[in-house]
Structure 1
Amino acid sequence: MLHLRSRVISSLFLGLLALGLPAQTPPPPADGGIGDLLVAPTRVVFEERKRSAELNLSNIGQARATFRISLVRMEMDEMGGIKELPFDPGTENLRPLFRFSPRQVTLDPRESQTVRIQVRKPAQLPEGEYRLHMTFRAVPPDAPVPAPQAVAEAPKGIAIKLTPVYGIAIPLIVRHGKTSASISITAPTFDAKGGVLRFRLDRSGNQSVYGDLKATLLPAAGAPEVLAEASGLAVYTPNSGRTVTLPIRSGQPIPPGSRIRIAYSQPVLDGGRLLAETVMTTP
């Protein structure tokens, strides 16, 4: 479930939310009653015979809010960041794959709305995976019309008012024909000073991967101890991998020569199957 709490939409923020990564502490809600939005589920995959899906939008804020819904093209970089790119001749044909309704919703506080999505595959669609992101952007409320006297007394010149736009995005993925992927964890390192693990998730195949990470300390004696966890990390096609920086929980000293197991698994709701693992020894 994605929760929008009056945040300015940006490439970084979209990437964090779309992938399920923890975002920074949000600023206080902006004036104007944009509202809070919950979206569930946070990603939709159409595969095998699945051709339709529903999203549930809920306004948990204190003010009436309007959200405009659209499809955008987004790509992942080597660090896992997501940025919006314009459609080009090679990706413009992805738009007709998805049909959805409504394209704009207005929700009172505590009100919910269903968005219905359908996939229409063309007859000669090549085998593989196709992806767009669906964005939900808050529409700022109309500004009040100034009184005639105020207009007359306004100083001459150019006035610019910047109105922030708030929103989130979720991936819509279509898999057609035979698709598969394999993933491995490579080049693990531990930065004792910074308290972080760094490694790569290397992907191969014609399908994206999505899962949860867990780093566990394996002591010579005693029970294993979880050092860090991260939920909802993806490696999207066509990327061959991404670099991951995983902060360990504060206050947990890691002596030299310690063994750490890093595991990447499907989310529990998807079965929890182990996708990749490695065990490293700290220097």
Structure 2
Amino acid sequence: MLRLRSQAIACLLLGLLALGLPAQAPPPPADGGIGDLLVAPTRVVFEERKRSAELNLSNIGQSRATFRISLVRMEMDETGGIKELPFDPGTENLRSLFRFSPRQVTLDPRESQTVRIQVRKPAQLPEGEYRLHMTFRAVPPDAPAPQSGAEAPKGIAIKLTPVYGIAIPLIVRHGKTSASVSITAPACDAKRGVLSFRLNRDGNQSVYGDLKATLLPAIGAPEVLAEASGLAVYTPNSGRTVALPIRGGRFVPAGSRIRITYSQPILDGGRLFAETVMTTP
């Protein structure tokens, strides 16, 4: 479930999108705002015979809000950051894969709306994976009209209106697609309290899963040191670097054994994608 809170957050909460985590901005200003938006599910995958899906949008804010829905092209970098790219002649036809309605919703507080999505594959679509992101951008309320008799401002005035938005991935898999994952170059920075490693992806489809780092003591029960849910590596990227903060700044002594796993989310089956065991220097 993704949550959009009315706050000046630079256009899109892209860093959170890279992890697939709930997008939540800082608390809203005292004068309220355009409302809070919940979106579920947070990603949609069309594979095998699946050709349609529904998203549920809910306004949990205190004011009426309008959101414009559109499709955008996004790319992931080596650290998992997501940025929006313009469509070009080679990617413009991706829009035709998806049809959705409505394209704009206005929700009163505690009101919900369903967005329906359909996928239409052309007859000669090459085998592989195709992806766009669906964005939900808040439409700023109209500026209040000037009061009668008020003196008109002199000179040039510029008003910057922030645009609020979140996005979720829409993925189409056509034909035979698969991916394999490996974890390499694990390291533990005890001073910073961070575990780092590289997550490698091979194949013609994206991967999406949960990370867990577990301390394996010689005596006693294993202890979870760090976790991250909903972490993706999108095609065509071959991988991404990951840094996980250790819980509570827990000190990890030299010679400790740590198991790092990357697994399918439990709701999707929980299959283990990759694991490695490291020993801290």
TM-score, length of structure 1 as denominator length: 0.95
1:137: which partner in 2? Answer: 137
Runs of 4+ in 1 over 4 A off after TM superposition: 22-25
How far apart in 1 are the matches of 2:67 and 2:128?
32
1:103: which partner in 2? Answer: 103
Unaligned runs of 5+ residues in structure 2 are none
| Change in CA separation of 1:116 and 1:102 when aligned onto 2, cut-off 3 Å | same
Unaligned runs of 5+ residues in structure 1 are none
1:163: which partner in 2? Answer: 161
Task: Report SS of the residue matched to 1:250.
Answer: helix
How far apart in 1 are the matches of 2:127 and 2:69?
28
- Please tell me whether residue 259 in structure 1 is matched to residue 249 in structure 2: no
Which residue, 217, 220, 223 being the options, matches 1:222? Answer: 220
The Cα of 1:136 is off from its aligned counterpart by: 0.3
Which residue, 178, 182, 185 being the options, matches 1:184? Answer: 182
2:124: which partner in 1? Answer: 124
The Cα of 1:33 is off from its aligned counterpart by: 2.4
The Cα of 1:251 is off from its aligned counterpart by: 4.2
* Code of the aligned partner of 1:204: D
- Please tell me whether residue 195 in structure 1 is matched to residue 229 in structure 2: no
1:173: which partner in 2? Answer: 171
How far apart in 2 are the matches of 1:12 and 1:166?
7
* Code of the aligned partner of 2:68: R
How far apart in 2 are the matches of 1:244 and 1:24?
21
| Change in CA separation of 1:30 and 1:237 when aligned onto 2, cut-off 3 Å | farther
The Cα of 1:101 is off from its aligned counterpart by: 0.2
The Cα of 1:9 is off from its aligned counterpart by: 4.7
| Change in CA separation of 1:180 and 1:196 when aligned onto 2, cut-off 3 Å | same
Matches within 5 A, 1:1-283: 1-10=1-10, 13-17=13-17, 19-21=19-21, 26-29=26-29, 31=31, 33-150=33-150, 153-283=151-281
Q: How many residues align?
A: 281
How far apart in 2 are the matches of 1:241 and 1:196?
19
**Contact conserved, 2:45 with 2:170, CA < 8 A, in 1?**
yes
**1:152-193 CA distances to partner (integer Å, 9 max, x unpaired)?**
x23321100111111100000000000000000000011111
The Cα of 1:30 is off from its aligned counterpart by: 7.0
- Which deviates the most, 258-267 or 4-13? 4-13
| Change in CA separation of 1:165 and 1:11 when aligned onto 2, cut-off 3 Å | closer
How far apart in 2 are the matches of 1:251 and 1:240?
31
| Change in CA separation of 1:8 and 1:25 when aligned onto 2, cut-off 3 Å | closer
How far apart in 2 are the matches of 1:233 and 1:13?
15
The Cα of 1:50 is off from its aligned counterpart by: 0.2
The Cα of 1:7 is off from its aligned counterpart by: 3.7
* Code of the aligned partner of 2:39: V
* Code of the aligned partner of 1:243: T
**1:202-241 CA distances to partner (integer Å, 9 max, x unpaired)?**
0010000000000000000100000011000000000000
How far apart in 1 are the matches of 2:18 and 2:227?
18
**1:48-75 CA distances to partner (integer Å, 9 max, x unpaired)?**
0000000000000011110000000000
**Contact conserved, 1:11 with 1:84, CA < 8 A, in 2?**
no
**1:128-156 CA distances to partner (integer Å, 9 max, x unpaired)?**
00000000001111111113422xx2332
| Change in CA separation of 1:260 and 1:113 when aligned onto 2, cut-off 3 Å | same
**Contact conserved, 2:256 with 2:279, CA < 8 A, in 1?**
yes
Task: Report SS of the residue matched to 2:132.
Answer: strand
- Which deviates the most, 39-48 or 14-23? 14-23
CA RMSD, 1 decimal: 1.6
Q: Percent identity?
A: 89
Task: Report SS of the residue matched to 2:96.
Answer: helix
TM-score, length of structure 2 as denominator length: 0.96
The Cα of 1:28 is off from its aligned counterpart by: 3.1
